[in-house]
Structure formats: structure tokens, C-alpha cells
Amino acid sequence: MPAGRFAPSPSGELHVGNLRTALLAWLFARSTGREFLLRVEDLDRARAGAEAEQLRDLAAIGLDWDGDVVRQTDRLAGFDAAFGRLSDAGLLYECFCSRRDIAEAPRAPHAAPGSYPGTCRALSEAERADRRRTRPAAWRLRAEAEEFTVTDALAGAYTGVVDDFVIRRNDGTFAYNFAVVVDDALQGVDQVVRGDDLLPSTPRQAYLAGLLGVPLPEYAHVPLVLNAAGQRLAKRDGAVTLADLSAPRTVDAVEYDAVTAARVRDVLLASLGLPQGPLAQAVDAFDPAALPREPWVLDSPSATFASARTR
């Protein structure tokens, strides 16, 4: 069954920007007859209780999902198998560079800023053995392309850098750009909807999907929610989670009433130009071509979401 997905990292509560992206992923999937899957990306960061909080908040704004929630840490065998295929094909090599080494390394004049300069690509076995004595190795992809083009439902054709990116870090953890490709393939995800801050990494993932021989999903990278300073929304911006908004509060000497999850849902729908109320109405009205293409700027979360105000 074709499927879309939402895949949060369980590092803390979801803020309204995360919830808006989740809502969009749900709308894309449901409006195209796909299943909607939830995946907890817990390889890297996990705070006790965060997963339960996130699932609670997604359900509170009306989202539902198909099947059981999948956790990356329960699927390590799939990552190991894909890693083995790349290794057997000679597409991986050990890298001993620190971040400082990479930042200070000379690059070709045409090289993209921040791309890996290939320092460890041609090390001899003797050189690798010597470096293993002082530093554990990460594993990088031996890429044979410098760039790759993907087609995005909102951004159109997008060409980005493909360098020898990390597949497995030197602490043994599989890197995001690898894990996300393997996860989507294992789950049958053929539609990836996520924030447009991840668009620059998508050419690497699409190139890797080709090497692994797995189908390329349809991509839709949606605009983020920004704060008044034009920066990506974060918890430091005030009442931006359902838990924070659900309690009365005072901001700049103004008292705001508690905000319900239904009110948050309705404001998020309005920001997308969709009818407020039960999500079935939004599915019927959903048209990706009509979505806003600019970020949604949230000047004052309390004022935006408050259903009433007491001075």
C-alpha cells in the first residue's frame, strides 16, 4: 500500500511548527489515498517520555495513523543489511577526520562550501591501520557524482550537492541521510513530506536510494514556521507547544486564556488556507498547488492562538 509518513525525533515536545508539518504530511497522504505512517527516529536523541507526548499531541489535533508506530532502534538489522550491501559493492571507506580537520582542509575552487574534501578517500591500508590506533573511523559513501537533481512537488526541480557524506558515524550510529532512505524503503513510503530546511540534503538521499536500488519517493518540502526574527520556531519563542498553550498565562502584562487543541488545529488550518473544523473537511479542500509557498511567521504565539483575552 502506498504510504506517506511523519518521522519526529523524540527529543522533546512537538511545537506548533512541527504540528503544522505533521498536519501537511497527513493531508498529502490522506488526499491521495495513501496510508499515513508514524516513525520515531530515535537513533540519535531520545528523551524519556517524549515519544508519548508527541503521539498524544498529534492525536489531539485530529491526526490518525495506520499500523503500529515504528522505532528506528527496533530495525537495526535493516540498517546493517543495507550498510553491508554498500560495503560489499566497494562504496564505503573509513574516515578519520574531525570536524576541525574538514573545516580547515583545502578544497578545489569549484567545491561546494561544507562539502567533504575527500581527505581519507585514497588512504592506503597501512595509513588506515595507523589512524585507527588514535581515532575510531566513521564510514563515508564513495560517491561518483558531485550533484544530483530531484523533483519536488512544491520547489520543482532542485539540484544539490552530493559529496562523500557520512553513512555511519565513528560512534557506530547510522547517520540521518542513510537511515532515512533505508527506513522509507523498508516501510514502503513513496511520499515524503517534510520541512523545506531538509531540501538541501535530499539530492544526497535520492542518489543513495539509486545505489541501494530502492524506489525514489515523491518529495514535497513545505515552508517552515518562523518566529518574529525570521528564525526557525523553537521552544524559546514562548508558548509554542500544546502543553504550554493549554494553561492560562501572562505575556507582557496581558493575560491569555487557555487554548484548546481544537483551536490550535483551526489556526494551523487557517494558515494553510483550509477550512477550520474536523480534518475531513480539510482533506476534501486540500490542493497542494494552492498551498502558501512562503514561511508562516508567528509574531506572537500567545496572541495568535488565544481564543480569548482578558486585560
Binding residue numbers for ATP: 235
In whole angstroms, give the CA distance from residue 179 to residue 215.
Answer: 15
Q: What whole-number distance in Å separates Cα of residue 37 and Cα of residue 70?
A: 8
Which residues contribute to the annotated binding site?
Answer: 5-9, 41, 95, 97, 116, 120, 176, 194, 235
What pairs with residue 95 in β-bridges? 138
Count of positions (residues) in the chain:
311
- The residue to which cell 559493492 is assigned: 89
Annotated binding-site residue numbers for L-glutamate: 5-9, 41, 176, 194
Residue 237 burial (C-beta neighbours within 10 Å; 0-12, 13-18, 19+) = buried
- What is the Cα–Cα distance from 272 to 282, expressed in whole angstroms? 10
Let me know: does 248 contact 258? Beta carbons within 8 Å: yes
Residue 96 Cα distances to 85, 204, 205, 276, angstroms: 22, 21, 23, 53
- What is the number of helices (H) and of strands (E) in the chain? 11, 15
Provide the annotated binding site for Zn(2+).
95, 97, 116, 120
CB 152 within 8 A of CB 220: yes
Helix (H, G, I), strand (E, B) or coil at 263: helix
How far is it, in rounded angstroms, from Cα 195 to Cα 198?
6
Alpha helix positions (H), 7-152? 16-31, 50-60, 76-88, 99-104, 125-132
Tell me the one-letter amino acid at 166: V
Rounded CA gap, 207 and 145, in Å? 8
Cross-strand partners of 149: 159
